[in-house]
Amino acid sequence: MIKKSLKGLSVIFAVLIIWQLGSYFKLVNPFIMPPPLEIIKSFFSMLLKGPLLADIYSSIRRVFVGFTCAFLIAVPLGIVLGWNKSLSQYFLPAIEFIRPIPPIAWIPLAILWFGVSDLSSYFITTIASFFPIFVNSFVGAESVEKVHINAALSLGASRGRVITKVLFPSALPFVLTGMRIGLGVAWMSVIAAELIAAQSGLGYMIQLHRMLLETHKVIAGMISIGIIGLAMNLFMLYLERKLVPWVKK
């Protein structure tokens, strides 16, 4: 484990050192590609005294609100449609029609509907995380084992109990995978939305510094986006291990 991470880190450090040396000997234009040390410096100065934390908070809040909305609709809908074949025949075609439209393609419509406001971002993050969560919940409910349903029925379980105690836990591993993917897509989409339709957030921040020609701050913002995305993914993986330990990976 440690050996593996050492291997990965060694490449990252090698690239950073070559990059830093290239800047030092004036081989790369610092306006195009500022040296790593300067980026790190501006990252920490923005983090400590600048507005970086406020931007991080704005972006995360938008993802959280949209993700929660999507979760509340997608999980029940996915499980019910995965369970009820005839009902799913009504809804699936419509869902399959909307699904291939990328979340960022909704941004113009969001601006028309909600203006340059938080509502636009909430709308985009909801759309973005809805489909991964829905599709995985659907597949999860569909793949419930017949023997578990039969076992529950022969032990006297009502229809409602079968849904909450058998169908839902059967689908849970899939739901969690969908949540992890949905969170990732929502995070990417909120940045895109903020590039265009927001007055705060990490996407807005890197766009602002582009206009101010502060490349090092743009890259420092990108690094924040990457770190937070990674942390979200790791958190969701941790949650999966904790909540569905019976699923062998």
Partner 1 sequence: MLSKIEIQNLSKKFVLADNKTNIQVLENFSFSLKNNEILGIIGPSGCGKTTLLYIIAGFIPYETGRVSYDGEPITAPSAKRTVMFQEYGLFPWMSVEGNIEFGLKAKGIPADERREITRHFIELVHLKGFEDKHPYQLSGGMKQRVGIARALASNPEVVLMDEPFASLDSLTREIMQEEILKIWGETNKALLFITHNIEEAIFLSDRVLIMSARPGKLKEIVPIDLEKPRLSEIKRGNSQFLKLKDYISQSLREETLKGIDQMGIKLTKVLGSIKMEKEGKNGKNN
> Hunting for tokens 């990965």 — which residue is that?
8
Least distance (Å) between residue 145 CB and partner 1: 8
Among candidate residues 130, 206, 143, the one with its CA nearest the CA of residue 173: 143
- Nearer to partner 1 (CB atom), residue 73 or residue 153: 153
Least distance (Å) between residue 125 CB and partner 1: 30
Asked if 31 and 218 count as a contact pair (C-beta separation under 8 A), the reply is no
Least distance (Å) between residue 245 CB and partner 1: 7
> Is residue 152 at the binding interface for partner 1, with CB under 8 A as the rule?
yes
The phi and psi torsions of 78 (rounded to 5 degrees) equal -60, -45
> Is residue 158 at the binding interface for partner 1, with CB under 8 A as the rule?
yes
Choose which of 37, 80, 157, 196 interacts with partner 1 (CB under 8 A): 157
> Is residue 242 at the binding interface for partner 1, with CB under 8 A as the rule?
no
- Which residues within the stretch 165-184 sit at the binding site for partner 1 (CB under 8 A)? 165-166, 169-170, 172
Asked if 209 and 217 count as a contact pair (C-beta separation under 8 A), the reply is yes
Q: Cα(136)–Cα(176) distance, rounded to whole angstroms?
A: 8
Stretch that binds partner 1, among 114-122, 187-195, 206-214, 241-249 (CB under 8 A): 241-249
- Which residues within the stretch 59-78 sit at the binding site for partner 1 (CB under 8 A)? none
Q: Say how many C-beta atoms besides its own lie within 10 A of residue 29's C-beta.
A: 10
- Which residues within the stretch 5-44 sit at the binding site for partner 1 (CB under 8 A)? none
Encoded amino acid at 147, one letter: V
- Nearer to partner 1 (CB atom), residue 96 or residue 145: 145
Least distance (Å) between residue 167 CB and partner 1: 11
Choose which of 3, 26, 49, 248 interacts with partner 1 (CB under 8 A): 248
Helical ranges in 25-145 per DSSP H: 36-48, 52-83, 85-98, 107-114, 118-142
Q: Distance of CA 236 to CAs 26, 48, 96, 165, 176, Å?
A: 43, 28, 26, 23, 8
Question: Which conformational region is residue 117 in: left (phi greater than 0), alpha (psi within -120 to 50 degrees), or beta?
Answer: beta
Q: Distance of CA 180 to CAs 64, 136, 234, Å?
A: 13, 10, 9
Least distance (Å) between residue 75 CB and partner 1: 16
- Nearer to partner 1 (CB atom), residue 89 or residue 158: 158
- Which residues within the stretch 132-151 sit at the binding site for partner 1 (CB under 8 A)? 145, 147-148, 150-151
| Contacting residues toward partner 1, per CB under 8 A | 145, 147-148, 150-158, 161, 165-166, 169-170, 172, 244-246, 248
